[in-house]
A and B are shown apart, each in its own frame.
Chain A
């Protein structure tokens, strides 16, 4: 019975996602990925911002491969105007 319930819920969710023509799902995934990338840059090189990092020596060798991501991070951090706006825009508040 539980299995059947779960199947019906998943089935519903699938159609909800598949018929999401406004493209919110893709957008959300993209912005979430960017946030995660930014967080990753931050935890790899937090020593550059003054936070002690016991593994900073080991993340050095990642630098050459992370150049593009660091550039994007830099741009995004520079563009930030309102942290609150960013937060709220994650939720669909349109009636």
Chain B
């Protein structure tokens, strides 16, 4: 059985709802399940009505949850470097590096790396603790990125470690200190090993399943096509699609009345919650997205 399941798909199709429902099902069958949200706009808490945070929380029997906060993870990592630094360096230099570390927290790419680091930690450290780990990811591009990163990063770390090793060897000949250990090389090799482990887990298709959620509508179908094609290029198979929000077969007037009533309640809530804002109201159409429907909707945006 697959150990790790990634839920992907276009924004708004119901990834969080489906991944949560799926994990509840596993938990009820007695499997120890961990549900992890990697979407920066977390919504598991909203779906379940329970506060889930940046550390693992018990949701119900056999089911734990976690919403990764990349900013918090990046800060933890950088604090660790700072603490480590104070033990080996003089104060003047510490100051100088500190400003570089401060800049790193807000630099582009930091969030993605911190997120990926946390995902790796969960997969490696919690692998034996849970029977199944379900990831609710952010819209499609993000899922692909997570799955292809270990390969890229292992390569980078590998070539850095190789380079460092040759420098260390050359330097030993120059300084004639042959038994000194190089902390830089140790860090690089540790990283490389860790990325390699993740890569191995991801490459074993018995371990990992990707499930795409889509609706029976034009845009989600198009995006799912692109995603599957791209994953195939990386030899990552997708074998399950979750089609959400299919209309019932015995659809009748009462179904629509109920829908309309619920919508009315939410419209009231919107007007109450966002009082004072301007609303542009656009009706639902009986046809799906196309060039002509967009043209038709454009008239609602007058002045």
Main secondary structure of the interface of B (DSSP, over half): helix
A8 within 8 Å of B (CB atoms): no
Whole-angstrom CA separation of A48 from B104 in the bound complex: 10
Interface string of A23-60 (1 = CB under 8 A from B): 00010011011001101100110011000001111111
The verdict on A60 contacting B81 (CB below 8 Å), with A29-B170, A43-B160 known, is yes
Q: Report the minimum CB–CB distance from A71 to chain B (whole Å).
A: 9
Q: A57–B187 contact, CB under 8 A? A: no
Whole-angstrom CA separation of A62 from B185 in the bound complex: 9
A78 within 8 Å of B (CB atoms): no
Q: A56–B89 contact, CB under 8 A? A: no
Q: A56–B93 contact, CB under 8 A? A: no
B184: chain A residues at CB < 8 Å are 62, 65-66
Interface residues of B in 121-174 (CB under 8 A from A): 152-153, 156-157, 160, 163-164, 166-167, 170-171, 173-174
Main secondary structure of the interface of A (DSSP, over half): helix
B153: chain A residues at CB < 8 Å are 54-55, 58
Interface residues of B in 172-201 (CB under 8 A from A): 173-174, 183-184, 187-188, 191
The verdict on A47 contacting B107 (CB below 8 Å), with A29-B170, A60-B101, A64-B81 known, is yes
Whole-angstrom CA separation of A78 from B151 in the bound complex: 37
Tell me which of A48, A63, A66 has the highest count of chain B C-beta atoms within 10 A of its own C-beta.
A63
A67 within 8 Å of B (CB atoms): yes
B117: chain A residues at CB < 8 Å are 57
Interface string of B44-79 (1 = CB under 8 A from A): 000000000000000000000000000000100110
The verdict on A67 contacting B104 (CB below 8 Å), with A36-B166, A55-B156, A57-B114 known, is no
A29: chain B residues at CB < 8 Å are 170, 173-174
Q: B113–A58 contact, CB under 8 A? A: yes
A94 within 8 Å of B (CB atoms): no
A61 within 8 Å of B (CB atoms): yes
Which residue in chain A gives the minimum CB-CB distance to B104? A60
Whole-angstrom CA separation of A9 from B149 in the bound complex: 47
A44: chain B residues at CB < 8 Å are 160
The verdict on A55 contacting B157 (CB below 8 Å), with A33-B167, A62-B187, A66-B184 known, is yes
Q: B97–A43 contact, CB under 8 A? A: no
Which residue in chain B gives the minimum CB-CB distance to A53? B109
The verdict on A57 contacting B104 (CB below 8 Å), with A32-B170, A36-B170, A63-B97 known, is yes
A66: chain B residues at CB < 8 Å are 184
Whole-angstrom CA separation of A47 from B100 in the bound complex: 12
Whole-angstrom CA separation of A59 from B156 in the bound complex: 11
Contact partner of B152 among A32, A40, A54, A62, CB < 8 A?
A54
Q: Report the minimum CB–CB distance from B72 to chain A (whole Å).
A: 15
Which residue in chain A gives the minimum CB-CB distance to B100? A63
A63: chain B residues at CB < 8 Å are 81, 85, 97, 100-101
Contact partner of B109 among A30, A43, A56, CB < 8 A?
A56
Q: Report the minimum CB–CB distance from A95 to chain B (whole Å).
A: 29
* B-binding residues in A (CB < 8 A): 26, 29-30, 32-33, 36-37, 39-40, 43-44, 47-48, 54-67
Per CB-CB distance, the 5 closest pairs between chain A and chain B, nearest first, are A57-B113, A64-B85, A33-B170, A65-B183, A55-B156
14 additional A-B pairs beyond A56-B107, A62-B184, beta carbons within 8 Å, are A33-B170, A36-B170, A40-B163, A40-B164, A48-B100, A55-B160, A57-B77, A57-B109, A57-B110, A58-B113, A60-B77, A61-B81, A63-B97, A64-B89
